[in-house]
Amino acid sequence: MNLDVYLTREGYEKLTKELEQLKTVKRHQIASAIEHARQLGDISENAEYDSAKEAQAMNEHKIAELEEKLSRARIIEKHEVSYDDIHIGVTVKLKDLDFNDEFEYTLVGDVEADFETGRISVAAPVGLALLGHKVGDIVEIKAPARLLRYQVISIS
């Protein structure tokens, strides 16, 4: 199953830069660490060598993972996004009807999700519940702590 990975232009560029850094700088650093560990002598009982080889395997795994995601990337361009309803790529301003707080979320794919910066995945419970709603709609979301009741204030 080869599902698309939805990314904003910013997210795509961030992953591309990360991949390039892992393939160049990080690979070089690890190769140097392996060479240094080899110079220490017997590698069969060399913790420094084992650690460097483990770092190499982890780096190569991350490279393969990023290459695979980028090969399935579908970039969501701002000019292609409609603001009629909530979907991936939009920023939505919500009002918590129980606490009278207002806040914003940007709906993104799983790869770019970062709750700290207000970027939530469309596959997360809140993101999924918001999909398809329009300005003025009231959205109820069952959360472990309580029933969340949000009103959609704006979509941009």
What was the pLDDT predicted at 3? Answer: 82
Q: CA-based Rg of the chain, rounded to a whole angstrom?
A: 22
**Residue 73 — very low, low, confident or very high, per pLDDT cuts 50/70/90?**
very high
Give the C-alpha separation, 152 to 149, whole Å.
10
Quote the mean pLDDT of the chain: 92
pLDDT digits (tens, 9 = 90+) for 135-146: 999 999 998 889
Ranges of CATH 1.10.287.180 domains, the chain? 5-76
Say if CB 105 and CB 154 are below 8 A apart. no
Ranges of CATH 3.10.50.30 domains, the chain? 81-155
The CATH T-level fold of domain 81-155 is Chitinase A; domain 3 (3.10.50)
pLDDT digits (tens, 9 = 90+) for 41-56: 777 788 899 999 999 9
pLDDT > 80? residue 2 = no
Say if CB 118 and CB 124 are below 8 A apart. no
What was the pLDDT predicted at 46? Answer: 84
Q: If you ran DSSP here, which 8-state letter would residue 22 be given?
A: I
The CATH T-level fold of domain 5-76 is Helix Hairpins (1.10.287)
Q: If you ran DSSP here, which 8-state letter would residue 91 be given?
A: E
